[in-house]
Structure 1
Amino acid sequence: MANPYPPLTDTPALTPLLLRGALLSPFKRPRSDADFPRTRLVLPGVRVDLAKLAAYERVCGFATGDDALPITYPHVLGFPLAMRLMSCRAFPLPLLGLVHTSVEITRHTAVPATGGYELTVYVDELTPHRRGTEATVTTELRAGGESGGAGKVVWESRSTYLARHHRADAPAPEVPHAQPPLPALAEWRLAEDVGRRYGAASGDRNPIHLSPLTARLFGFPRAIAHGMWTAARCLAAHGTPESAYARAEFRAPVLLPGVVEYAAEGGRFQLRSGERTHVDGFVRPLPL
């Protein structure tokens, strides 16, 4: 189906979008049956800034200088488009307080760092959640995005974002199935500046990640790590096949500075501290 909206000509700047979303947030009353924008934002001619990519690889623990993008990097490319959708007046959930709860990524094939691509980002659905309403945002990366034609999807993701609010009809919480703990493989001591370093590499300078002072304005005792940094750090340690499906659920924030434990076995991985699990995820190969 043809997209009725004209393609973008450049990547949106994140800081003005964060400010716009913050200003509009008090006027929004979230509910799961609300309408949401059906806009599909398309950005052709996407090229990767190799210097920014190298900074991202260093802060997340990926090997630098590889020909292919890390499995999580296209999320960074698409995030400004997602923010443009979620900060607009028509998006029914307030940007302030919106929590990234999960991400699932499908990489169909290796994605060369020097290729040309086309990005498509759209809000897929709103769904009820026992704590409020969740929005699902889909991002697609197509190869050959410089010619203006629709290329083949080489990478795609679905991210869920939760707006907490009271629901009179909220279902009872699900009781998780007990699983044996994964064996710990490493202890990571996270520096206080991880959020600032990841923000500089990714462009996501949300104040909750930058310093204790700005984090306290939003109810956190200290700055917290970006959820996508925790997922990327785990996947960098775990490794992923060229063609893979990965999913990570963000269970609890990681305070900075801090000490966390990386655990993995088979296709599963976790990031935890003591009895608290911060990230729970898995990776599985896909047929080529």
Structure 2
Amino acid sequence: MANLTLLYAKAALTGFARRGSELPDASLDAEVVVDPGHLARYNRVCGFGVRDELPVTYPHVLAFPLQVRLMTGPGFPFPLPGLVHVANRITRTRPLLVGEPLSLHVELADLRPHERGRQFDVVTTASVDGEEVWVDVSTYLRRGGGSPSGERAGGDRATAPEPTAVWRVPADAGRRYADVSGDRNPIHLHALTARAFGFRRAIAHGMWSKARCVAAFEGRLPDAVEVDVRFRAPVELPGRVGFSTTPTGDGRRFALWSDRPHLEGVISG
């Protein structure tokens, strides 16, 4: 796997030179075996219990170094700093177990207009013995030069839903998740480094927020499941957020709110 520290340094040094209107035709593959110690640390940080089954969000951190390699590789048109993770959809056809070797494949797809700029997908698949069992689609926004005909960001709901739980998110949540995910973007690590990028305080990782929500459904997800979220606004650290969930025809809706929406998602199966 790639050294993420070196890749972030590369992103900082080469970002100013990145230009273009197309995504490169590039993909990366890797064979991975889950480290039970790393999985246990991930579970503690995100609120999962100890089980033989991988959390549905866990393969994302296994594939993250490949994703960063593509977004810092030749021909990628945008600087990595400043990309906004706006959505993530994970589809699982069956539970994945700790002892199963995973074949990961990552590619870039679907550069398209957005009302605030341009967005694209990073698509990751995980296969076991040649069978595709898990697909992750992360959507990123590059702000600037938006198109009125592009996809809209979506409006905020007028009132917060009634919370079913209230979570206190500690000041070190970003650093703890960075330790297990490898995502050491400065906006997540400390208030001082976050301010350099325009944030008042450090902010939680979007994928931590998603994982923490999924952990609230642990043991109740169907074997074949899709978890689709939109990241609305960052959770500032430390913070206090309300978690809410309501049933739908084939699953659940869920959300994180404080004085504004942070995340809205749907579980279906």
Normalised to the residue count of structure 2, the TM-score between the two structures is: 0.92
Contact 2:85–2:206 (CA under 8 A) maintained in structure 1: yes
Select the residue among 222, 230, 241 that pairs with 2:201.
222
Distance 1:93 1:175, change over 3 A: closer
CA shift for structure 1 position 225: 0.2
Residue 279 of structure 1: aligned partner: 263
- Displacement of 1:105: 0.4
Quote the residue 1:55 is aligned against.
41
Could you list the runs of 5+ residues in structure 1 that have no partner in the other structure? Answer: 1-10, 145-150
Deviation at 1:117, TM superposition (A): 1.2
One-letter amino acid of the structure 2 residue matched with residue 35 of structure 1: E
Q: Is contact 1:48-1:114 (8 Å) kept? A: yes
Instruction: Pick the aligned partner of 1:111 from 49, 74, 96.
Output: 96
Amino acid at match of 1:212: A
Match of 1:264 among 237, 242, 245: 245
1:36 is the counterpart of 2:20: no
Distance 2:172 2:135 in 1: 30
Residue of structure 1 in register with 2:231 after alignment: 250
> Residue 89 of structure 1: CA displacement?
3.2
Q: Is the 8 A contact 1:24 1:89 kept in 2?
A: no
* Kept in 1: contact 2:114–2:152 (CA 8 A): no
Partner of 2:82: 97
Matched residues in 2 for 1:174 and 1:213: separation? 29
Corresponding residue for residue 211 of structure 2: 232
- Residue equivalent to 2:4: 14
* Post-superposition offset of 1:203: 1.4
| Equivalent-residue separation in structure 2 for 1:119 and 1:83 (angstroms) | 14
Question: How large is the RMSD of aligned CA atoms in angstroms?
Answer: 1.9
User: After the TM superposition, which of the residue ranges 35-44 and 178-187 deviates more from structure 2?
Assistant: 178-187
* Counterpart Cα distance in 2 of 1:174 and 1:72: 24
Pick closer, same or farther for the CA change 1:192–1:174 going to 2, 3 Å.
closer
Instruction: Structure 2 unaligned segments of length 5 or more: list them.
Output: none
1:4 is aligned to none
Deviations 1:161-204 (A, max 9, x none): 11101236565957659698543111111110001111111111
Matches within 5 A, 1:132-281: 132-144=117-129, 151-167=130-146, 173=152, 176=155, 182-239=161-218, 240-266=221-247, 267-274=252-259, 276-281=260-265
Q: In structure 2, what residue type is equivalent to 1:184?
A: P
Between the aligned residues of both structures, percent identity stands at: 44
CA distance in 2, matches of 1:180, 1:192: 27
Amino acid at match of 1:82: Q
C-alpha spacing 1:89/1:182, structure 2 compared with 1 (3 Å) = same
Task: Quote how far apart the aligned CAs of 1:87 are.
Answer: 1.0
Look up the SS of the partner of 1:238 in the other structure: coil
Tell me the amino acid that sits aligned with residue 28 of structure 2.
L
Q: Does 1:27 align with 2:54?
A: no
